[in-house]
Structure 1
Amino acid sequence: MKEFIQTLKNIWSLKELRDKIVLTLLLVLVYRFASYVSLPAINTAEVGNLLQHYKNQGGNQQGAGLLGLLSSFTGGAFSRASVMALGIMPYISASIIVQLMGMAIPYLQKLQKDGESGRNTLNQITRWLTIAVCLVQAPSYLTSVTQFFLPYSQFASAYYIDPNSVMFWLPSIIILVAGSVFAMWLGEKITDKGIGNGISILIMVGILADLPTAFYQEVLTQNGKGGLGSIMILVEIIFWLLVVLLAIVLSVAVRKIPIQYVSRAQARGGVSRNLMDGARQWIPLKVNAAGVMPIIFAQALMFVPGLLTKVDESNTFLAGFKNVFSWQYNVLFALLIIIFSFFYTAITIPVNQMADDLKRNGGLIPKVRPGKETADYLDDILSKITLPGAIFLSIFAVLPAVVHGAFVQTDRFALFFGGTSLLIMVGVILDTVQQINTYLLNHHYDGLMQSKLSRSSNL
């Protein structure tokens, strides 16, 4: 405990690091404040009553899980009809589109190789594409807020302006687009001037904002059962901490490939020293190299099967795809995650380029020839470790449905037992802590996660 307190003092003593952390916290506070500013034409109090009435009518079992999932990424702004209702997700969608288009469009491939100038151009393309995505998502969101609840005539006071009029739609669309662009600007400012990846931090903050309320609702529900409720709450907390620990292991697990670098004199053949005199390093291949991207891709596609219910609303099998806790939804979800894990890993880890770079810099893998054999070796190892990584990732993704059916009573709290929410939280926290550690180690301080074991291994 003393070492942890000393580490906090070290962080505060570094002016540059302290200023970055303070700025990050202030921008996050602005983002959270903006998420409570409602659209001018909507009475948020009545919208809250609408949502509660919808749940009481059985909507919670027929798709509120999807709405709750979307709301969790925006810290509740989605369900509050806030100016930040779209949140940062349009930017994430635009980034994914640009990344995938980079595989097929030569111009984008050239920009990816042009260094800083190419990266700036790609960022500008992503920003404009974000606005285009917002122009599609904003009307869809307003449709869900208006047409979805219009049948409940007793809640007509939820709208200050006729929801079918141009005076409602045009300003609301402009405000929603502006809110999403503002969130994008905040994220980029955090990345440039603050600490950590700003976009990821805003998503994490939105997710964490819903955790206290979700836990409180779970406590109330469990306590309604009597004395057994307190025991179940304790069991849930212990199990949740175990899941968090396993998520950390999945995020940091790597397979180290030993690399032997030949010295320049050895490369020229001027000396006859043993090859092992060269510098030895490692290539760390992550078990879950794709991160949460397979879940995000699969999540985007999982809205499609739910639309099929409109073709045949009486089909109970198809209706299951609208519920994130149904077995139909989760079986398809897990299969898509495994497929996308291999797909995303294949396009983001260029083994041929890695083999060429090793050969160019005088590096080699022991007992493996440089060039094509090295690329085939890396590809084989990557395929072997991606399979268990993809399986574990799919297990984490469907875990909320498992615990919801086993012992967790509320939907909102069950979503924190895995899936995108938990992995994003763990990944962002680890990345931010790593950046803080870098600042501390550069000033000869121990990092937040520095252990005696790691210190002894560096000796």
Structure 2
Amino acid sequence: MKLENKHELYKRIFFTFFMLAIYVAGKSIVLYGVAGDEAQQTGVQSYITSFFSGDRYQKTVMALGVMPYINASLLVQVISALKSANSRAKISKQKQDRWMLIAAVIISGLMAVAQATSFTYRSDAGPKILVMIIAALELFGGAMLTFYLCSANEKHGIGASMPIIMFNVITTLAETLQLNHFWHYPFMFVIIAFVTAGTIFLENSIIKIPLQRVSIHNIHADQNYMAYKRNPVGVLPVMFATAAFLVPQYFVRLLVFIFPKNKTLSNILDGMVLTRPLGVKIYLIIVFLLTIIFSFIMLNPMESAHQLQKNGDSIVGVYAGKDTRRLLVKIVVKWSIISGILQTGCMALFLIMSLEKVIPVALAMLPSSAMILVSIICTFVQETGTYYRYDAYSFFM
């Protein structure tokens, strides 16, 4: 019997483009009642906002973008990773999806209200409080539509939320480079090239730790190994730190709206920006710490050492138990620090140059853009290769 070609890759690519088309169409819908002369965000702040929404001026129903999805996803991943292996095994995919939806609804609701309170509204649009509620509902609806698109793309397309992030970064990057004369700063080419090469190397290389498995006694026994990426968690820390840096702003903005005469809250809000030294330091510290923390949470070297000992397996030349745990922890610490230094070092250099007026403020986040784009492209290539091999597989009849 002749088997039909599955065309899994083509179906997934088509679905991803269809999902992006819906997202782009949503970005053209302007929020009701928002004044045309609403102050526009500029510089670093608008750039990191556009990572997630692609809406630099925050005036469309898609202004919250993928930020609720990313935060909800990472929150569920962290909670699951903190549980024991037995507890994780009892958590179904449906239960995780339900947790993500609940988290996304809460995050979207809070961010929508906070964002709606920051707008200036047209006097002819109606009572301000009513127009503000409408804008908040539109923002919430856009965030939940984006959440649904990302969830559907995870099941039927390629890359979950990554196509939207890549689209946002590319469109924002093109606009930023054009408006800020990137070509007038040749030294930036060298730094971006270094960031790109370093990210490609870390994303596509692994450390092979040879294993002795008690259940394998054949010619393939010496081919067993445990694999760790040299970039343990990719650019998750950069993306999450950017989101983590913005989410508190929404919360403080909401508090300022509730308590407009509180000078302390106003000063905090003014200081939570990447155009001031304190904001830069906080952001870089968050990125570096998250790189190490996420590496331990996602890779969990202690749990890996325990499972090896439980199964009777061991690392070649290393005793099971404490010695194995010590080795795995050392590997994770080493490469998470290297990854963290690469990411924070290049971003720090650009942010400092922007503070010193050496480069335009809008170009300060170029290293983040390069790392995110390269990481997403590498993931796309790997995932596309998986589905391509699936389509190419031939069954023996």
TM-score normalised by structure 1 residue count: 0.71
Q: Which one of the candidate residues 199, 211, 218 is aligned to 1:259?
A: 211
Q: Which one of the candidate residues 368, 382, 394 is aligned to 2:318?
A: 368
Shift of 1:360: 5.0
Q: Which one of the candidate residues 230, 249, 263 is aligned to 2:201?
A: 249
Q: Distance in 2 between matches of 1:140 and 1:305?
A: 9
3-state secondary structure, aligned to 1:257 = strand
Q: Distance in 2 between matches of 1:388 and 1:300?
A: 22
Question: Would the aligned equivalents of 1:204 and 1:425 in 2 still touch at CA under 8 Å?
Answer: yes
Counterpart residue number, 1:40: 32
Runs of 4+ deviating beyond 6 Å = 103-106, 305-309
Shift of 1:165: 2.4
Q: Distance in 2 between matches of 1:74 and 1:201?
A: 12
Counterpart residue number, 1:225: none
Segments of structure 1 that go 5 or more residues without pairing to the other structure are: 1-12, 147-155, 223-229, 267-275, 446-459
What is the root-mean-square deviation in Å for CA atoms of aligned residues? 3.5
Shift of 1:364: 2.0
Counterpart residue number, 1:178: 141
Matches within 5 A, 1:3-402: 15-43=7-35, 45-47=36-38, 50-51=39-40, 60=42, 65-76=44-55, 79-102=57-80, 112-114=88-90, 118-146=92-120, 158=122, 160-162=124-126, 164-166=128-130, 168-195=131-158, 197-219=159-181, 232=184, 235-237=187-189, 239-264=191-216, 278-299=221-242, 302=245, 310-311=263-264, 321-361=271-311, 363-402=313-352
Q: Deviations over 1:326-345 (max 9, x none)?
A: 43332333233332222222
Counterpart residue number, 1:453: none
Matches within 5 A, 1:419-438: 419=368, 421-438=369-386
TM-score normalised by structure 2 residue count: 0.81
- Which residue identity does 2:50 align to in structure 1? S
Question: Would the aligned equivalents of 1:111 and 1:119 in 2 still touch at CA under 8 Å?
Answer: no
- Which residue identity does 1:436 align to in structure 2? T
Counterpart residue number, 2:259: none
Farther-moved stretch of structure 1 (333-342 vs 130-139): 333-342
Question: Would the aligned equivalents of 2:245 and 2:283 in 1 still touch at CA under 8 Å?
Answer: yes
- Which residue identity does 1:144 align to in structure 2? S
Q: Distance in 2 between matches of 1:175 and 1:305?
A: 20
Relative to structure 1, the CA distance from residue 287 to residue 21 in structure 2 (aligned partners, 3 Å threshold; closer, same or farther) is same
3-state secondary structure, aligned to 1:400 = helix
Relative to structure 1, the CA distance from residue 89 to residue 188 in structure 2 (aligned partners, 3 Å threshold; closer, same or farther) is same
Shift of 1:305: 9.4
Relative to structure 1, the CA distance from residue 104 to residue 385 in structure 2 (aligned partners, 3 Å threshold; closer, same or farther) is closer
Shift of 1:432: 0.9
Relative to structure 1, the CA distance from residue 255 to residue 136 in structure 2 (aligned partners, 3 Å threshold; closer, same or farther) is same
Question: Would the aligned equivalents of 2:52 and 2:165 in 1 still touch at CA under 8 Å?
Answer: yes
Shift of 1:427: 1.7
Give the % identical residues. Answer: 21
Shift of 1:386: 2.4
3-state secondary structure, aligned to 1:94 = helix
Bigger Rg, which one = 1
Structure with the larger RCO, 1 or 2 (CA within 8 Å, 6+ apart): 2
Shift of 1:96: 2.9
Report how many aligned residue pairs link the two structures: 379
- Which residue identity does 2:129 align to in structure 1? S
Shift of 1:81: 0.9
Question: Would the aligned equivalents of 1:321 and 1:329 in 2 still touch at CA under 8 Å?
Answer: yes
Relative to structure 1, the CA distance from residue 235 to residue 289 in structure 2 (aligned partners, 3 Å threshold; closer, same or farther) is same
Relative to structure 1, the CA distance from residue 105 to residue 376 in structure 2 (aligned partners, 3 Å threshold; closer, same or farther) is closer
Question: Would the aligned equivalents of 2:241 and 2:283 in 1 still touch at CA under 8 Å?
Answer: yes
- Which residue identity does 1:244 align to in structure 2? T
Q: Distance in 2 between matches of 1:406 and 1:93?
A: 32
Question: Would the aligned equivalents of 2:47 and 2:172 in 1 still touch at CA under 8 Å?
Answer: no
Shift of 1:436: 1.4
Q: Distance in 2 between matches of 1:114 and 1:401?
A: 45
- Which residue identity does 1:428 align to in structure 2? I
3-state secondary structure, aligned to 2:119 = helix
Question: Would the aligned equivalents of 1:88 and 1:180 in 2 still touch at CA under 8 Å?
Answer: yes
Q: Distance in 2 between matches of 1:182 and 1:34?
A: 9
Relative to structure 1, the CA distance from residue 182 to residue 365 in structure 2 (aligned partners, 3 Å threshold; closer, same or farther) is same
